[in-house]
Amino acid sequence: MVVKFGCLKIKIFVVAVLLKLSYGQDFGYEGSIGPAFWGLTYKGCNGGKLQSPIDIEINNVVKINFPPLSFENFDKPLETVRLENNGHTVQLSIRQGDIPKIRGGPLNGTYRFQQLHFHWGKDDHEGSENLINNRSYPLETHLVFYKEDYGNFSNALADDDGLTVLSFLYHITILENKKYEKFEQELPQVENMNSSVEIVNFDSLNDFTTTDRDTYFTYKGSLTTPPCSEVVTWIEFAQTIPLSHEQLQVFRLITGNAGKIDHNFRPVQAVNDRVIYASVPTTDSASSKIEHTTWLLVVSLFKTYLLFSFVVN
């Protein structure tokens, strides 16, 4: 009996190793572990009504006057950060220093920074997860925050207002973005899967955001990776960030379990009956004429950002 039991343990171990070798990780972006199959392992990725990402159609959004967003510690240099390749993306977290926080806008409470990561595509015409007017962008950064009331990220996943994600889209320019030089220099150190590096005296979180942080879309959604928990308040900024083709190419050298990660974005999900809001600069609410004019300016601004992105691409 002991021998048979030992053989059984060996067989189970061998099967486990073979499965790990076959699949490497429990989710990916193509083949049998691609987005279409996530729901087999993570039930939350199938059948939900608040899944992300989505296609934001500007003409269907609802204007609203939110309180101003408040960005705490976004301008402070990060003492020590950890940059890592988790096999799906490149992720940055803070190891030491003042933790950025955000409040206001559509948020009910204060949210604490957890990590930021990136989504990109095979070429300069795809890569973003959220779309605007069915238009994809070559890169999207997600700054992930959890609600302080819950104490930590894991606890926050249990409530529908547990997380907020600040999302920033990019457009291609001829000139390099100087703010990304240091970050780009560090990326080759995490080119291999499961590699990581700690960096001291890093840039501030402001360098990963836009100058216009008053104009944005917001909606209730989910994580865009398993377990696809529907606990996220999304804030999608309208202004795009410039990045050169050469700078973007560095992301496509990152490797996962199946080789180069040339794309890591989930396809858009159904909006269903969700309302997508657009922030409107504060105006005199007593004057509908001013409000209407402001809204026209906001729509015009969104479309200007879109047009500019098309031109530089």
- Residue 287 has, within 13 A of its CA and on its CB side, a CA count of 9
Cα angle 171, 94, 258; round to 5 = 60
Contact 256, 88 (CB under 8 A): yes
Q: Is the dihedral of CA 187, 189, 192, 193 positive or negative?
A: negative
Phi, psi of 128 (to 5 degrees): -70, 155
Question: DSSP alpha helices (H): ranges in the chain?
Answer: 2-23, 38-41, 153-156, 181-186, 245-249, 288-312
Contact 32, 41 (CB under 8 A): no
88 is catalytic: yes
For residues 176-204, b (16+ Cβ closer than 10 Å) or e, as one string? ebeebeebbebbeebeebeeeeebeebbb
Residue 232: partners with Cβ closer than 8 Å, 6 or more residues away: 52, 162, 163, 164, 165, 220, 221, 222, 223
Q: How far is Cα 169 from Cα 139, in angstroms, rounded to an integer?
A: 6
Q: Which residue has the tokens 């003492």?
A: 79
Contact 40, 228 (CB under 8 A): no
Beta-carbon count within 10 A of 52 CB:
23
Report, as residue numbers or ranges, the catalytic residues: 88
